[in-house]
Structure 1
Amino acid sequence: MVLFGLVASQQVLSTLGRLQDARLREYARLHLDGLAVALGPFVLHKDVWEVYDTLDRARANASGERILFTVVADERGRVLAATDPLRAPVDSAAAVYSDNSVPVDEVTSSKGTKVVRVAEPLSVQGREVGQIMTELDVTDLVDQRRTATLALLAGNALATLILVVAGYAVVARMLKPVELLARHMGESGGAPQPIPEDSIPRSESPLSKLLWNFNEMAGAIDARAEAERRLAERERFVSLGRLSSSLAHEINNPLGGLLNATDTIRTYSERPDVVRKSADLLDRGLRHLSEVSRAILEENRLDRSGQPLSQTDFDDLRLLFEPETQRCRLELGWTVDAGDETLAGFPSAAVRQIALNLLLNAASAAPTGGKVALSVQSRDDGLMLEVIDDGPGLSETARSRLLSPDPVAPGGGVGLRLVRDLVAGMGGAITYDRSTGRTEIAVSLPREEKTQC
């Protein structure tokens, strides 16, 4: 507003100055042209007295007090006559009185001086016979400009002050809803409280809509907090169900093989080699069940500091899984290309759980007469387990359970999610590939770095 006032004031003063200068030049030209017509013959004949008389009559007829002093000089630059003979004696040098003089077309009162000198040549029939020099009083014009400047400054200051006060009042009124919103947000303490409806302006302004939106947001946050509380409570029940399901799932599967082993002992009790082999299988299976039970009691987290993995574990898995393939009439492929030295760097229970769950899932997906294969290979950076089947592949929900860390909807088996949790806990990775009618799930387990004490 101040800048706008300054620009506007400058425009007003410029316009006033142009009008004053135009009037001053018009006045000076009329005065000098009239003197030139009257004085021309007398200056040509050097008639000093007539020149004096003409100057006196011109000053007497001039309106106002604007003409202060006039000097008439001949072609030699000597004074012929002046309105003040004492100041400009006859035959004195006229150049003294023409200092700082300007032509009529360049006369201006904007320089701030109260006296302006104007000089114009005096010609008679195209012949220059002398020069006329006049001092004009422009005090009134300078005073007018000064008065206009002060009036503009005062008016601009008053207008600016009024606009500032009015603008402050308007903005303060506009910001009241924002202050109300800021106060409620600052006092919320992390839980926004709705603004009382009687405090919200009854209008369709954007600020009123903002306050209503804040109330809706506060209600949505409360609803979300309640939903999260209910979800957390539900998740506790889901976890409990998952724990029970895992316990039943992981204990029930090996029991079939163990019962087969006890049946074998009863049937071939007279053959010590068969009894010994079945007893070893029973011992390993029972130890495995003990590890699973202890791990589930420890918040469903398998003990990774237990027995190391070995080729015997995969032999046991094959013995436990073969009855399932025979029941479904599946062709089983089994390749373990890793020695005990390599396998000993991985926990037995976790790897067996990963392999068993993937094999059971592949067996349930493969069609009757289909094929299921397990491949275990040693890599420089760890161990690679691959389970392949010729089934239709995993559904979107099943892939989410196996590959995504996002929460899953309740329902469905826990085997794939258990595999994902075990692999993630060991720092491994799972890849899923479906091509040429085959489903391949690959689990990459990194080798654990052993620190020496």
Structure 2
Amino acid sequence: MRRLRRLPIGARAALAAAAMTAAVGLLASWLVLTALAETQRDRLAEVVRMHVDGLSLALGPAAQRRDIWEIYDTLDRAAATGDGRLALTVVADDRGLVLAASDPRRAPTDSALAALMDEAQPIDALGDPGLSARLRVLAPLAHQGRRVGDILTELDVADLVTERRRVTLALLIGNTIATASLTLASYLVVRRALRPLETLARRMGDADGAPTAIPLDEAPRSGGEIARLFRTYNGMVAAIADKADAGRRLAERERFVSLGRLASSLAHEINNPLGGLLAAADTLRSYADRPEVVRSSAGLIERGLSRLRDVAQAALDQHRIADDAAPMTPEDVDDMRLLIGAETGRLGQRLDWRVAAEPAALAQWPATRLRQIALNLLLNASAAAGRGGRLGLALTVGDGGLRLEVRDDGPGLGAAALARLTSAEAPPPGGGLGLRLVRELAIELGGSIEHARDGAETVVAVTLPGRPGTREA
């Protein structure tokens, strides 16, 4: 049953129609054979009644007088005038003893009639002879309304059995041919009728989330429900395509709106610190000889630049610039050390820097993305290590690709920060996007991220597979 359920609906419907046709053929054969058996039984019953009724009239007085010779004479005359179907006739008295028989050797006089009554059927309840060539029928022998004995008749029904076998064989052959032809025809008709549904199901199954319209040459040419179903499906496909196109246009418009809002926000966030910086610069120019004014203006400049750095960092976290064309070079590594060195120097931190990679090997990876990964991890490690802490970077290139390992002696990553770095789920609210950016960049480059706690240090390692065809720096 499971295999049948896996078949296409056209094949299942065709097989069901074929099975129903075969069942109808079998039922028709059974009805014909049953009617033939009833007809033969009626013929036999008529023959037996005529034979018994005639013998009852002729043998009644002789059986009452126990005139054996008259009974023999009557049986001889009945056998001579019969149609050859009577194989044996036995006449018994009311005590069940044989008076005479058409074949005395099989039924001697004064023998018990019960010895011949095996498989004998009463004349009033005559059944189907089946495939037996002989049929025995037992009937009462009456005279003047009184039972004086019994008549046992054995009929030769071999011709009827042969006729039944011949009819059965012809019926089976004919019905088999007719049923097979009708079964094949019904299978082909149903399969052809349901072929459009199979086409529709195949198209929907091959769509893989993006349904495509069915060409006109595959749609049914005639009208009807199937044709309307095809037209409805093509209309749905067109509506989905229109909706997707409208969604793309809306997303493009939203993107431009978002870019406009971003530009406006950035301009606003940058303009305010710039005003303070310009005022501080003007103050320095006017009061360069007053140390307290210089210190105050320098503090204002530092705070304004810090604000601008925060704005720039937020913009980088939210909207990074992809630049896969520029390969990684040793100069990019030096720039990373210089940039993180300013932060570690400000916090009085110790930086361990270990790079073991040839320029040609580094050129396999894009500089922009690799720099973003390294700087985000280093800035996060510096913030975790705190003032006077220790952090380090180890960059190696081997057969397995590039391995970038960042360590710090801070307290370790919290659950929310670890989820941003390693989980595919949506990041929890709050916190920066630097760690999530590291994960997305690593995945885009086909890499993996490992996190471990090594003694008092937190270790985050990013492994990037090598690219075929190393590019020269």
TM-score, normalised via structure 2 length:
0.54
In the alignment, does 2:42 pair up with 1:22?
A: yes
Letter of the 1:113 counterpart: S
Q: Secondary structure at the match of 1:8?
A: helix
What is the aligned counterpart of 1:208 among 198, 211, 227? 227
State the match for 1:70 in structure 2.
89
In the alignment, does 2:302 pair up with 1:283?
A: yes
8 Å CA contact 1:121, 1:130 repeated in 2 = yes
**How far did residue 142 of structure 1 move?**
2.1
In the alignment, does 2:58 pair up with 1:38?
A: yes
| Superposed CA offset, 1:5-39 (max 9, x none) | 22232233223323432342343234324423432
What is the aligned counterpart of 1:164 among 168, 183, 202? 183
Matched ranges for 1:235-274 at <5 A:
235-252=254-271
Over 3 Å counting, the alpha-carbon distance change for 1:241 and 1:16 in structure 2 is: same
State the match for 1:452 in structure 2.
458
In the alignment, does 2:114 pair up with 1:114?
A: no
8 Å CA contact 1:118, 1:133 repeated in 2 = yes
State the match for 1:2 in structure 2.
22
In the alignment, does 2:158 pair up with 1:139?
A: yes
Over 3 Å counting, the alpha-carbon distance change for 1:238 and 1:137 in structure 2 is: same
**Structure 1 regions of 5+ residues with no counterpart?**
308-343, 348-379, 383-404, 406-419, 428-448
**How far did residue 66 of structure 1 move?**
2.5
8 Å CA contact 1:16, 1:145 repeated in 2 = yes
Q: Secondary structure at the match of 1:174?
A: helix
8 Å CA contact 2:66, 2:99 repeated in 1 = yes
Distance 2:32 2:168 in 1: 9
Letter of the 1:142 counterpart: V
**How far did residue 188 of structure 1 move?**
7.7
Letter of the 1:97 counterpart: L
Distance 1:60 1:424 in 2: 122
In the alignment, does 2:74 pair up with 1:54?
A: yes
Q: Secondary structure at the match of 1:72?
A: strand
Distance 2:141 2:123 in 1: 13
Over 3 Å counting, the alpha-carbon distance change for 1:34 and 1:423 in structure 2 is: farther
Q: Secondary structure at the match of 2:87?
A: strand
| Superposed CA offset, 1:217-247 (max 9, x none) | 4434544554455445445433432331221
8 Å CA contact 1:77, 1:94 repeated in 2 = yes
Distance 2:228 2:63 in 1: 89
Matched ranges for 1:48-447 at <5 A:
48-62=68-82, 64-124=83-143, 128-178=147-197, 194-197=213-216, 200-224=219-243, 226-227=245-246, 229-231=248-250, 233-252=252-271, 280=299, 283-297=302-316, 299-300=318-319, 425=433
Q: Secondary structure at the match of 1:16?
A: helix
Aligned residues: percent identity? 51
8 Å CA contact 2:138, 2:151 repeated in 1 = yes
8 Å CA contact 1:2, 1:156 repeated in 2 = no
Letter of the 1:246 counterpart: S
Over 3 Å counting, the alpha-carbon distance change for 1:154 and 1:224 in structure 2 is: same
**How far did residue 130 of structure 1 move?**
2.8
Letter of the 2:35 counterpart: T
Over 3 Å counting, the alpha-carbon distance change for 1:241 and 1:421 in structure 2 is: farther
8 Å CA contact 1:24, 1:108 repeated in 2 = no
Distance 1:235 1:346 in 2: 40
8 Å CA contact 2:317, 2:434 repeated in 1 = no
Distance 1:167 1:424 in 2: 69
Over 3 Å counting, the alpha-carbon distance change for 1:8 and 1:249 in structure 2 is: farther
| Superposed CA offset, 1:305-340 (max 9, x none) | 999xxxxxxxxxxxxxxxxxxxxxxxxxxxxxxxxx
Distance 1:47 1:451 in 2: 132
Q: Secondary structure at the match of 1:203?
A: coil
8 Å CA contact 1:74, 1:131 repeated in 2 = yes
**How far did residue 262 of structure 1 move?**
10
Distance 1:128 1:199 in 2: 85
For the aligned residue pairs, the C-alpha RMSD in angstroms reads 4.8
8 Å CA contact 2:93, 2:148 repeated in 1 = yes
Q: Secondary structure at the match of 2:121?
A: coil
Over 3 Å counting, the alpha-carbon distance change for 1:346 and 1:87 in structure 2 is: same
**How far did residue 201 of structure 1 move?**
3.3
**How far did residue 48 of structure 1 move?**
1.1
**How far did residue 47 of structure 1 move?**
0.7
8 Å CA contact 1:42, 1:51 repeated in 2 = yes
State the match for 2:6 in structure 1.
none
Q: Secondary structure at the match of 1:151?
A: helix
| Superposed CA offset, 1:52-107 (max 9, x none) | 22223334454x33322101123444332222334434344444333332211332
TM-score, normalised via structure 1 length:
0.56
Distance 1:99 1:110 in 2: 14
| Superposed CA offset, 1:188-213 (max 9, x none) | 89876644435543332232223333
Distance 1:38 1:206 in 2: 78
Over 3 Å counting, the alpha-carbon distance change for 1:7 and 1:423 in structure 2 is: farther
Q: Secondary structure at the match of 1:119?
A: strand
Distance 2:316 2:110 in 1: 133
- How many equivalent pairs are there? 328
Distance 2:316 2:64 in 1: 135
**How far did residue 214 of structure 1 move?**
4.1
